[in-house]
Structure 1
Amino acid sequence: MWGQRHQLRGPSGTYVRDDEVLGVAETGQDLQTGRSGARAVLEFSNCTSSRLFSSQHVPPPPKAPPLPVSALPSHWPSVLAADEAPPLPSAPPVRSLTIDDFDIGRPLGKGKFGNVYLARLRDSHFIVALKVLFKSQLEKEGMEHQLRREIEIQAHLQHPNILRLYNYFHDERRVYLILEYAPRGELYKELQKSHTIDEQRAATIMEELARALAYCHENKVIHRDIKPENLLLGLRGEVKIADFGWSVHTPSLRRKTMCGTLDYLPPEMIEQRTYSEMVDLWCIGVLCYELLVGNPPFESTSYSETYRRILKVDVKFPPSIPLGAQDLISKLLRYQPSERLPLAQVLQHPWVQAHSRRVEPPPAPSAS
Structure 2
Amino acid sequence: MDTSTLIHGRYKLKGDPTSGAMGDVWVAEDTKLGRTVAMKFLAQRRLMQQGAPTEFAESTARMFQREAQAMARVNNPRVAHLYDSGEHKDDFYIVMEYVEGKSLAKHLGTGPKLPLERTVRWTRQICEGLGAAHDVKVIHRDIKPDNIMITRQGDVKLVDFGLAYLADITQTHTIAGTPLYKAPERWHGDTGSERSDLYSVGCVLYEMLTGHPPFGGPHEDPMTVGRMHQEDALALPSAHRPGIPAQLNALVRILLAKDPDDRPKNAHAAENAIDEISRVLNATDDTIRRANVFDTPVSSASLSQHIEALDLRIFELEILHDRSDQLLIDARTEHAELTGQSGDARGAAALYDRLARDCQEFFGPYDVRTLDAFEGLARWNGAARTN
TM-score by length of 1: 0.65
**Which structure 2 residues correspond to residues 306-317 of structure 1 after superposition, within 5 A?**
306-316=225-235, 317=237
Tell me the residue number matched to 1:149.
66
Tell me the residue number matched to 1:327.
250
Q: Does 1:245 align with 2:162?
A: yes
Aligned CA distance change for structure 1 residues 276 and 114 (closer, same or farther; 3 Å): closer
Tell me the residue number matched to 2:38.
129
Counterpart amino acid of 1:163? Answer: A
Q: Does 1:223 align with 2:159?
A: no
Identity rate of aligned residues, in percent? 26
Given the alignment, which residue of 277, 294, 301 partners 1:351?
277
Q: Is the 8 A contact 1:203 1:355 kept in 2?
A: no
Higher relative contact order (CA 8 A, sep 6+): 1
Once the two structures are superposed, residues 21-47 of structure 1 have per-residue CA deviations (whole angstroms, 9 ceiling, x without a partner) of: xxxxxxxx74235xxxxxxxxxxxxxx
Q: Secondary structure at the match of 1:200?
A: helix
Q: CA deviation at 1:256?
A: 6.3
Looking at structure 2, the residues matched to 113 and 251 of structure 1 have their Cα atoms a distance apart, in angstroms, of: 24
Q: Does 1:117 align with 2:16?
A: no
**How much is the aligned-residue C-alpha RMSD, in angstroms?**
2.7
Q: Secondary structure at the match of 1:341?
A: coil
Looking at structure 2, the residues matched to 307 and 116 of structure 1 have their Cα atoms a distance apart, in angstroms, of: 30
Given the alignment, which residue of 121, 126, 132 partners 1:204?
121
Aligned CA distance change for structure 1 residues 292 and 224 (closer, same or farther; 3 Å): same
Q: CA deviation at 1:114?
A: 3.5
Q: Does 1:302 align with 2:221?
A: yes
Larger radius of gyration: 2
Q: CA deviation at 1:173?
A: 4.4
Looking at structure 2, the residues matched to 257 and 121 of structure 1 have their Cα atoms a distance apart, in angstroms, of: 34
Given the alignment, which residue of 178, 182, 191 partners 1:261?
178
Looking at structure 2, the residues matched to 319 and 193 of structure 1 have their Cα atoms a distance apart, in angstroms, of: 19
Q: CA deviation at 1:191?
A: 1.8
Q: CA deviation at 1:279?
A: 0.3
Once the two structures are superposed, residues 215-271 of structure 1 have per-residue CA deviations (whole angstroms, 9 ceiling, x without a partner) of: 111111111110011111234121111111111112399996412111111111112
Tell me the residue number matched to 2:151.
234
Q: Is the 8 A contact 1:257 1:269 kept in 2?
A: no
**Which structure 2 residues correspond to residues 80-119 of structure 1 after superposition, within 5 A?**
98=7, 100-107=9-16, 109-119=18-28
Looking at structure 2, the residues matched to 217 and 254 of structure 1 have their Cα atoms a distance apart, in angstroms, of: 17
Aligned CA distance change for structure 1 residues 241 and 108 (closer, same or farther; 3 Å): farther
Once the two structures are superposed, residues 120-176 of structure 1 have per-residue CA deviations (whole angstroms, 9 ceiling, x without a partner) of: 222332121122333303554521111011111112211100111100222214333
Q: Secondary structure at the match of 2:102?
A: coil
107-116 or 144-153, which moves further after superposition? 107-116
Looking at structure 1, the residues matched to 31 and 9 of structure 2 have their Cα atoms a distance apart, in angstroms, of: 8
Given the alignment, which residue of 165, 184, 198 partners 2:101?
184
Q: How many residues align?
A: 265
1 or 2, which has the higher helix percentage? 2
Counterpart amino acid of 2:252? Answer: I
TM-score by length of 2: 0.62
Q: Does 1:341 align with 2:341?
A: no
Aligned CA distance change for structure 1 residues 255 and 199 (closer, same or farther; 3 Å): farther
Once the two structures are superposed, residues 38-79 of structure 1 have per-residue CA deviations (whole angstroms, 9 ceiling, x without a partner) of: xxxxxxxxxxxxxxxxxxxxxxxxxxxxxxxxxxxxxxxxxx
Structure 2 residue runs of 5 or longer lacking an equivalent are 283-387
**Which structure 2 residues correspond to residues 261-300 of structure 1 after superposition, within 5 A?**
261-273=178-190, 275-300=192-217
Aligned CA distance change for structure 1 residues 260 and 240 (closer, same or farther; 3 Å): same
Looking at structure 1, the residues matched to 196 and 125 of structure 2 have their Cα atoms a distance apart, in angstroms, of: 17
